[in-house]
């Protein structure tokens, strides 16, 4: 006896709901366009410690207050990969919620320290759009996302390429 598994794409209710959330297609992006992502996200000590230990990052500057007090910043730093995940996550609703795939992350730079209690904000600029030459139903957007703290100071900048669908005819 062969077990048949229903695919989500076979369910008309799921297809209708999915279309409703496909908020941006390739044609909705243009070079120079800027998205200011909202809301912000305040990073807590728990967020930082939990993420650092969960990902097995053993650098004590992220979770040992006594050790961190002896370092350049005099306090624990928020784990950079938590910042990356949060800043990218903040951009999803505006930029990549309907993505087929994230193709590439490049030039990730940490440009300022972040501490527990800081609130992150993000903004994304579309740098370039390129229609696929091999598949007419998709294209690539190339974006730069900046992470900012509550004082408007840049703490991170990254670029990525995202494969997004074209608007169905």
- DSSP assignment string, 112-138: S---TT-EEEEEEEEEEEEE-SS-TTE
Domains of the chain plus CATH, in order, are: 25-165 (3.10.129.10)
What is each CA distance from 6 to 21, 24, 56, 141, in whole angstroms? 21, 27, 37, 32
Give SS3 for 110: strand
Q: State mean pLDDT over 59-82.
A: 96
Residue 115: closest CA among 61, 67, 56: 61
Beta-bridge mates of residue 134: none
Residue 126: the pLDDT is 98
Q: What is the DSSP letter of 152?
A: S
pLDDT tens-digit profile of 84-103? 999 999 999 999 999 999 99
Confidence grade of residue 23 (pLDDT, cut at 50, 70, 90): confident
pLDDT tens-digit profile of 111-140? 999 999 999 999 999 999 999 999 999 999
**Which helix (DSSP H) or strand (DSSP E) does residue 140 occupy?**
strand 138-148
Q: Is the pLDDT of residue 14 over 60?
A: no
Q: State mean pLDDT over 57-63.
A: 93
Name the percent of the chain lying above pLDDT 70: 87
Residue 124: closest CA among 97, 155, 79, 90: 90
Q: Is the pLDDT of residue 40 over 60?
A: yes
């Amino acid at each position: 006896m062969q077990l048949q598994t229903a695919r989500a794409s076979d369910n008309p209710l799921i297809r209708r709901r999915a279309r409703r959330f496909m908020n941006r297609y390739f044609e909705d992006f243009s070079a120079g366009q800027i998205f200011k992502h909202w809301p912000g996200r305040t990073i807590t000590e728990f967020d930082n410690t939990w993420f650092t230990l969960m990902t097995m990052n053993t650098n004590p500057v992220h979770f040992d207050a006594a050790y961190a007090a002896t370092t350049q910043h005099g306090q624990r730093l928020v784990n950079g990969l938590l910042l990356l995940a949060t800043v990218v996550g903040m951009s999803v609703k505006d930029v990549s919620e309907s993505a087929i795939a994230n193709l590439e992350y490049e030039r990730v730079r940490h440009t300022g320290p972040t501490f527990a209690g800081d609130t992150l904000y993000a903004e994304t600029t579309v740098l370039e759009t390129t229609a696929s030459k091999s598949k007419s139903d998709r294209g690539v957007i190339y974006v730069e996302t900046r992470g900012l703290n509550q004082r408007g100071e840049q703490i991170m900048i990254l670029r990525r390429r995202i494969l997004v669908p074209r608007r169905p005819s």
